[in-house]
């Protein structure tokens, strides 16, 4: 069933049941009140009749005039007086008898009521001044019940039908109001494919869940578009990086086999082939490592480690790789509580990520020192690696995380374009953030935020 109709049926059911219960409550309350009030009026008349006819027969005419003046005569009002002998109601010839259950109730309780259709009966057990016992009953047609309550019932039924019609119309209006934006989103989404990922959903003006849904979908499209562009760049760059050494290897082999050559020429060809094969192996290993550390949500073995010790190990490793690299540590912002320097992570992967970043800074700084600062906020450990090297052109900043991408001003420097994307993936695996800011010919700054370890591992 479509959600449009489900909403309509749900609203109709809820409001109809509420309206039905409300009408039923009104009808029951008024009916119950009319019954109670009418029985009370009959009981008063029964008591008045007993006083007039049994205790004051001499003044009956005067009292009847007073009763007629102050007590209106009810429609079809009748009065019955039955003497009681031996605890039994005595019915005279030609006198209408009372239902057995009603009579027994009057004898036992001294009062009671009874209804037969629209005729209501109310009676009392009365003891005269002289000690005689009588059952006095007054009956009358309850005009309010037979006419006004019937009118009220018809009015409520009519109102219920009109309310049902109104509920249906309002439900359809509400349903269309709620579903229309969703249907609009569906139509716009159907237009989007891999060929036009630049399209975005139009955001509603109202700040509600529909707007949040559209905004969330647009954010997802942004990520998908970025992923597609990254994939295209990766395929292009990887093809170039892998084809270059393969072309050199094939060309050198063809050259060596084209005719007989002396031992020195074969040795030189094999050396060139080996050199290109080693380059190809390094690029392939880097590519595999990048794939293995991709942000795919796979579980990693994480331990509690101190970031200050991690940075000291990274500095030692980098200087072993190249003794000419200059690294300056800034620990002036360390917190007093060393527990704020501890993070939950994989030591090898974080060491690899920081090493790549520091090596890049040293390599592109032309012998100038690279500064590593360490600090902490209430929730994160902050690591900043800053150099004064060649920087990155502003127009190329959007592609720095693409595998195999290298800036246009790095042609004189060896590298494969794997280090920064690899480091970023590792930081993302640790629920951290890596942000790069750079100015061409002035230097680059890499800021890393890692969540502080909390609780037992």
Euclidean distance between CA atoms 435 and 397, whole angstroms:
11
Tell me, letter by letter, the H, E, C secondary structure of 155-174: HHHHHHHHHHHHHHHHHHHH
Residue 191 lies in a domain: no
Q: What is the arithmetic mean of pLDDT over 18-46?
A: 82
Q: Is 328 exposed, middle or buried (0-12, 13-18, 19+ CB in 10 A)?
A: exposed
Residue 298 lies in a domain: no
Euclidean distance between CA atoms 375 and 430, whole angstroms:
18
pLDDT bracket for residue 261 (50, 70, 90): confident
Identify the DSSP state of 339: G
Q: Return the higher-pLDDT residue of 447 and 245.
A: 447
| Residue 220 predicted with pLDDT over 60 | yes
Q: Which domain holds residue 388?
A: 303-451
Does residue 95 share a domain with residue 48? yes
User: Of 235, 265, 292, which marks where a domain is finished?
Assistant: 292
| Residue 69 predicted with pLDDT over 70 | no
Q: Considering the chain, what is the average pLDDT of its residues?
A: 81
Does residue 278 share a domain with residue 363? no
Q: Return the higher-pLDDT residue of 278 and 382.
A: 382
Q: Return the higher-pLDDT residue of 8 and 229.
A: 8
| Residue 421 predicted with pLDDT over 90 | no
| Residue 295 predicted with pLDDT over 50 | no
| Number of domains into which the chain is organized | 3
User: Of 106, 128, 150, which marks where a domain is finished?
Assistant: 150
pLDDT bracket for residue 386 (50, 70, 90): very high
Residue 124 lies in a domain: yes
Does residue 119 share a domain with residue 12? yes
Predicted TM-score (pTM) above 0.75 = no
Residue 307: its pLDDT value, please?
93
pLDDT bracket for residue 2 (50, 70, 90): low
One-character DSSP codes across 361-372: HHHTTTT--EEE
Query: What does each C-alpha distance from 48 to 51, 53, 217, 424 come to in angstroms?
Result: 5, 9, 83, 101
User: Of 99, 126, 150, which marks where a domain is finished?
Assistant: 150
Residue 447 lies in a domain: yes
| Residue 227 predicted with pLDDT over 70 | no
Residue 57: its pLDDT value, please?
64
Query: What does each C-alpha distance from 149 to 119, 305, 400 come to in angstroms?
Result: 14, 83, 83
| Residue 252 predicted with pLDDT over 70 | yes
pLDDT bracket for residue 296 (50, 70, 90): very low
CB atoms within 10 A of CB 252: 19
| Residue 297 predicted with pLDDT over 50 | no
pLDDT digits (tens, 9 = 90+) for 96-124: 778 888 888 888 888 888 888 778 888 88
Does residue 33 share a domain with residue 97? yes
Does residue 81 share a domain with residue 29? yes
Place of tokens 């990254």: 230
Residue 27: its pLDDT value, please?
80
CATH of the domain at 252: 1.10.287.130
Does residue 318 share a domain with residue 342? yes
Euclidean distance between CA atoms 211 and 197, whole angstroms:
20
Q: Return the higher-pLDDT residue of 171 and 235.
A: 171
Euclidean distance between CA atoms 127 and 84, whole angstroms:
10
Residue 187 lies in a domain: no
Among the listed residues 401, 433, 428, 431, the one whose alpha carbon sits nearest the alpha carbon of residue 417 = 401
- Among 26-30, 57-61, 156-160, 182-186, whose mean pLDDT is lowest? 57-61
Residue 387: its pLDDT value, please?
93
Q: What is the arithmetic mean of pLDDT over 383-389?
A: 94
CATH of the domain at 351: 3.30.565.10
Residue 200: its pLDDT value, please?
81
Does residue 340 share a domain with residue 412? yes
User: H or E element: which one contains 273?
Assistant: helix 263-292
Residue 115: its pLDDT value, please?
84
pLDDT bracket for residue 290 (50, 70, 90): low
Does residue 125 share a domain with residue 24? yes
| Signed CA dihedral, 84, 89, 94, 96: sign only | positive
- Among 2-11, 123-132, 269-278, 375-384, whose mean pLDDT is lowest? 2-11
For residue 215 the two structure tokens come to 């905004």
Euclidean distance between CA atoms 299 and 430, whole angstroms:
10
Does residue 336 share a domain with residue 246? no
Does residue 383 share a domain with residue 270? no
Residue 234: its pLDDT value, please?
60
Does residue 322 share a domain with residue 274? no
Q: Return the higher-pLDDT residue of 440 and 287.
A: 440
Contact 418, 287 (CB under 8 A): yes
Among the listed residues 87, 157, 190, 74, the one whose alpha carbon sits nearest the alpha carbon of residue 122 = 74
Residue 311 lies in a domain: yes
Residue 204 lies in a domain: no
Helices (H), 364-400: none
Contact 434, 446 (CB under 8 A): yes
Does residue 122 share a domain with residue 52? yes
Q: Return the higher-pLDDT residue of 216 and 448.
A: 448
Contact 79, 85 (CB under 8 A): no
CATH of the domain at 97: 3.30.450
| Residue 72 predicted with pLDDT over 60 | yes
Residue 177 lies in a domain: no
């Amino acid at each position: 069933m479509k959600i449009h109709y489900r909403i309509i049926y749900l609203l109709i059911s809820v409001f109809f049941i509420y309206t039905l219960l409300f009408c039923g409550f009104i009808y029951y309350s008024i009916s119950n009140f009319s019954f109670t009030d009418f029985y009370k009026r009959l009981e008063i008349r029964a008591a008045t009749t007993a006083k007039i006819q049994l205790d004051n027969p001499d003044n009956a005419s005067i009292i009847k005039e007073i009763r007629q003046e102050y007590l209106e005569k009810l429609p079809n009002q009748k009065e019955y007086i039955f003497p009681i002998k031996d605890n039994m109601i005595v019915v005279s010839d030609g006198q209408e008898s009372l239902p057995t259950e009603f009579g027994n109730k009057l004898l036992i309780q001294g009062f009671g009521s009874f209804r037969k259709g629209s005729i209501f009966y109310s009676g009392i057990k009365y003891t005269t001044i002289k000690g005689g016992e009588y059952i006095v009953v007054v009956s009358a047609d309850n005009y309010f019940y037979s006419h006004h309550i019937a009118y009220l019932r018809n009015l409520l039924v009519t109102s219920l039908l009109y309310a049902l019609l109104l509920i249906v119309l309002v439900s359809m209006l509400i349903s269309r109001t709620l579903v229309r934006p969703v249907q609009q989103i569906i139509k716009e989404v159907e237009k989007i494919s891999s060929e036009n990922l630049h399209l975005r959903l139009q955001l509603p003006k109202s700040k509600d869940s529909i707007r949040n849904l559209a905004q969330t979908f647009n954010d997802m499209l942004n990520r998908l578009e970025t992923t597609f562009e990254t994939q295209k760049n990766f395929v292009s760059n990887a093809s170039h990086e892998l084809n270059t050494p393969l072309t050199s290897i094939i060309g050198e082999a063809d050259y060596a086999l084209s005719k007989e050559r002396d031992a020195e020429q074969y040795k030189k060809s094999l050396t060139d082939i080996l050199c290109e094969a080693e380059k190809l192996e390094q690029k392939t290993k880097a590519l595999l490592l990048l794939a293995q550390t991709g942000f795919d949500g796979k579980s990693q073995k994480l331990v509690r480690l101190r970031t200050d010790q991690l940075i000291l190990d990274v500095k030692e490793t980098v200087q072993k790789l190249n003794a000419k690299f200059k690294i300056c540590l800034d620990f002036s912002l360390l917190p007093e509580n060393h527990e704020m320097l501890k993070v939950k992570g994989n030591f090898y992967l974080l060491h690899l990520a920081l090493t790549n970043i520091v090596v890049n800074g040293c390599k592109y700084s032309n012998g100038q020192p690279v500064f590593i600062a360490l600090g902490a906020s209430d929730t994160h450990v902050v690591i900043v690696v800053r150099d004064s090297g060649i920087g990155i052109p502003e127009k190329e900043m959007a592609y720095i995380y693409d595998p195999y991408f290298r800036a246009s001003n790095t042609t004189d420097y060896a590298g494969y374009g794997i280090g920064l994307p690899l480091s970023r993936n590792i930081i993302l695996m640790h629920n951290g953030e890596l942000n790069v800011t750079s100015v061409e010919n002035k230097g680059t700054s890499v800021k890393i935020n890692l969540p502080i370890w909390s609780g037992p591992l």
